[in-house]
């Protein structure tokens, strides 16, 4: 009976010991999801502010749509120790080409399942294991000014992106995805910091 009692006590311990550290873990993942929603909202807002304007987008207006998204992704990476990227098989900036097999599979999954908005994957990037969040990016009417027909692309796009593949899209097409990698190491550091 005593042995049984000890076993029950032992079984009870890990549950208590584990409960606290998992809280910041899920917090960080949830925060990444929220930050990506904010990032996507930033682009949609900026792109729709161009709509109705009859002027052809210039270098200046471009800076006000997709470049700030890239800059904000960098900032999120630096501030959190995450790796925040935009990835697309039809990319404009070659830095945004899919960076591993998992990413290519994620794009295929979004292509096949239009209702799939986002999901988490377990991955090893470089020498780090961690969790990677993928979130789809769809084409809206406001994107077509710069991602529509090849010949209608603004001059600055033709001039600055000789390897451009990000055109001939239609509303509702998959444009690409966001990818946020959170290394386990970082998770453990956060857990250590909050543990008594
Ligand atoms: C004013 C022109 C313009 C508009 C409007 C625009 N984009 Fe872009 N987009 C660009 C340029 C230029 C780049 C490359 C930026 C860079 O070098 O990082 C780009 C890059 C991207 C990328 C990163 C992947 C890649 O191809 O390099 C995504 C994703 C994207 N755009 C989605 C959208 C979506 C979605 C919309 C509409 C909501 C939109 N864009 C509207 C000009 C535009």
In terms of average pLDDT, the best of 9-13, 17-21, 138-142 is 138-142
pTM of the model as a whole? 0.84
Query: What CA–CA distance (Å, rounded) separates 62 from 182?
Result: 30
User: Model confidence at 196, in pLDDT bands (50, 70, 90)?
Assistant: low
pLDDT digits (tens, 9 = 90+) for 82-135: 999 999 999 999 999 999 999 999 999 999 999 999 999 999 999 999 999 999
Nearest CA to ligand 1 atom 34: 143
* Averaged confidence pLDDT in the chain: 85
Q: Is the CB of 125 under 6 A from ligand 1?
A: no
Residue 49 is predicted with a pLDDT of 80
CB of residue 145 inside a 6 A radius of ligand 1: yes
The residue whose CA has the least distance to atom 8 of ligand 1 is: 66
Q: How does pLDDT run across 150-183, given as a tens digit for each residue?
A: 999 988 899 999 999 999 999 999 999 999 999 9
Domain ranges of the chain: 24-194
Q: How confident is the model at residue 189 (pLDDT cuts 50, 70, 90)?
A: confident
Q: How far is CA 188 from CA 23, 61, 98, 191, in A?
A: 12, 42, 28, 5
Query: Highest mean pLDDT: which of 32-36, 57-61, 155-159?
Result: 32-36
Q: Which residues pair with 122 in a beta bridge?
A: 131
How many angstroms does the Cα of residue 106 sit away from the middle of ligand 1?
20
pLDDT, greater one: 2 or 96: 96
Q: Which residues contact 113 (CB under 8 A, 6 or more apart)?
A: none
- pLDDT at res. 152: 93
Query: Quick one: which atom of ligand 1 is closest to the CA of 156?
Result: 12
């Amino acid at each position: 009976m005593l042995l049984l009692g000890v076993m029950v006590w032992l079984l009870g311990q890990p549950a208590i010991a584990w409960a606290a550290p998992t809280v910041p873990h899920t917090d960080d993942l949830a925060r990444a999801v929220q930050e990506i929603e904010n990032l996507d909202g930033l682009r949609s807002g900026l792109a729709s502010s161009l709509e109705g304007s009859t002027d052809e987008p210039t270098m200046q207006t471009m800076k006000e749509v997709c470049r700030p998204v890239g800059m904000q992704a960098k900032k999120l990476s630096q501030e959190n120790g995450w790796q925040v990227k935009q990835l697309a098989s039809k990319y404009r900036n070659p830095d945004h080409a899919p960076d591993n097999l998992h990413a290519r599979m994620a794009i295929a999954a979004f292509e096949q399942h239009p209702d799939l908005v986002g999901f988490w994957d377990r991955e090893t990037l470089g020498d780090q294991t961690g969790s990677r969040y993928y979130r789809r990016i769809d084409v809206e009417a406001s994107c077509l000014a710069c991602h529509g027909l090849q010949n209608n692309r603004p001059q600055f796009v033709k001039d600055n992106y000789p390897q451009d593949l990000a055109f001939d899209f239609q509303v509702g097409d998959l444009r690409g995805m966001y990818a946020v990698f959170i290394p386990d190491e970082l998770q453990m550091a956060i857990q250590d910091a909050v543990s008594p």
